[in-house]
Amino acid sequence: MLRKLYNWSSSWTGTIVIVLTIIFFVAQAFVIPSGSMKNTLLIGDMLFVKKFSYGIPVPRIPWIEVQVLPDFKGNGHLIEGDRPKRGDIVVFRYPNNDNIHYVKRAVALPGDIVALKEKHLFLHPREGNDYVRENYPKEKIIETGGKLFVVDPYRDEHPGIHNDPSVKRDGLQPYQLFDMMPIKIPEDEFFMMGDNRDHSNDSRFWGTVNYKFIVGKPWFIYFSWDENKEVRWDRVFRTVESLEEDMHGKELEINHEKGIY
């Protein structure tokens, strides 16, 4: 039996079936195409996406994006799973074109209230005021309309989150970068933002992301090179969590490109 299994797995048919099974249900390669998540993830980072983090998405053939099984549950997943948590980096399909993958950070969950003021993120978790008092320092909490909001709740834990000081309110920049009225996140949807806050095309511009578009979360970087094709060995075989640990307490160099990407 083992010999037959080995012979089958060594054949072209077996190899293709095994590779597709891994891609469909376990992990898929993903290349960071833009700087919207730097310095947490950089252009040229090649990573594996853990596809079973939030359930098992309905499989598609890579590159041509052909769906190979029906969406039986109507939520984009063969097997329903956990939802993204606050602060998770999530790979998902762009809601306006589900053939395109995006990677952003989930900053608000269903039932949360989120707002922006002068580039600062304000979050009122769905758990309510007592939860805010118990889980966030006083200096980060403000009260408005009887609700407690946390100001910039993710920056201390995730040092790659930053703003570009050269992007100012001069009438030329998109207003979405600066202010947003409070919105309550709908059921089973998530508000996504890039860590490179002033250069990220995210939920501020096109709205929340439904669970059906969620693909998975970054697993580890298997290769990385810069625009000059020089290998960044210090990032190879690293997880996002370990890279973030290295960034704490360091002054990060960031060269911003113009525009939203």
Asked if 187 contacts 110 with a C-beta cutoff of 8 angstroms, the reply is yes
What is the C-alpha separation between 107 and 114, in angstroms, rounded? 8
Dihedral sign, CA of 40, 45, 50, 56?
Answer: positive
What is the C-alpha separation between 165 and 163, in angstroms, rounded? 6
Say how many C-beta atoms besides its own lie within 10 A of residue 178's C-beta: 17
The residues assigned a catalytic role are: 36, 104
Residue 51, SS3 per DSSP: coil
Q: How far is CA 93 from the centre of its chain?
A: 10
CB under 8 Å to 179, separation ≥6 — which residues?
116, 117, 118
